[in-house]
Structure 1
């Protein structure tokens, strides 16, 4: 998949709008423009993982790539659980199960880890279920509007 794939953008944006009753991108754009904007210019990070038993990231916009320190090819080969350190993984898994039950969760805060091992907070994140137009579950996505350093890290 290409980072600006309009079919995947439709999955992200339509799932978000259906669950949160708000647009993920500006309404005035064509799907191709919005897919490019989300990947290149969005003022927030967006990540998505698939439905494998050990889910792998299938999308991460440029903001996320800079934040986590991975290229597109590295990120889209990474099991999503590795975005959290081992002690944080059970908390992350419990949170993802809550998203599964409720469809989406807003206001999430959790510790994540960069490729370098540096830890940071993601804050006020929204995580939602990805369902295609036929109602088939395709994974989960996260919108990360704010991050902060961990004091003393």
Structure 2
């Protein structure tokens, strides 16, 4: 997927998928608008991954790129499990198992690591399932506003 920009309407189709799935499952909007550009430029990280056996990140807004210290191009080829350190991946996997039963998970906390090895703890994260227009699962996404460098 190409880096969001004016040229591709900030990946409007995927952004709409993220925003619509969020409001459908959580019951409140992630943003006051369903526009793609505000999502890409939001002051908090938003990420998604696909449904592969080893899911690959499919989206990371500017805040996510900055926090993980990665370009769009590097972020969107990364297996999502690599956003967490090896010793924290079991906790992350357990959260996803629980989330898959209800479609979303709130108040998740976990340790993550950037591309340069900088560790940080995320708090009060919301993770949700992405559903296409036909109701088929097509990925999962996460957002949070609280984090602390360790």
Give the TM-score normalised by the residue count of structure 2: 0.92
Give 1:13 deviation, angstroms.
0.7
Structure 2 counterparts to residues 3-152 of structure 1, below 5 A: 3=4, 4-27=10-33, 31=34, 34-40=35-41, 42-150=42-150
The Cα RMSD (Å) is 1.0
- State the SS of the aligned residue for 1:36: helix
2:118–2:149 CA contact under 8 A, matched in 1: no
Match of 2:7 in 1: none
- State the SS of the aligned residue for 1:111: strand
Give 1:43 deviation, angstroms.
2.1
Structure 2 unmatched ranges of 5 or more: 5-9
- State the SS of the aligned residue for 2:88: helix
- 1:42-96 Cα offsets, whole Å, 9 max, x none, are 1211000000000000000000000000000000000000001111011100111
Give 1:136 deviation, angstroms.
0.8
Taking the aligned partners of 2:118 and 2:12, their CA distance within structure 1 comes to 33
Runs of 4+ in 1 over 4 A off after TM superposition: none
Structure 1 unmatched ranges of 5 or more: none
Give 1:11 deviation, angstroms.
0.8
Taking the aligned partners of 2:146 and 2:100, their CA distance within structure 1 comes to 23
- 1:71-126 Cα offsets, whole Å, 9 max, x none, are 00000000000001111011100111111111101111100001011211011110
- State the SS of the aligned residue for 2:28: coil
- 1:19-60 Cα offsets, whole Å, 9 max, x none, are 011112113xxx5xx2001102x1211000000000000000
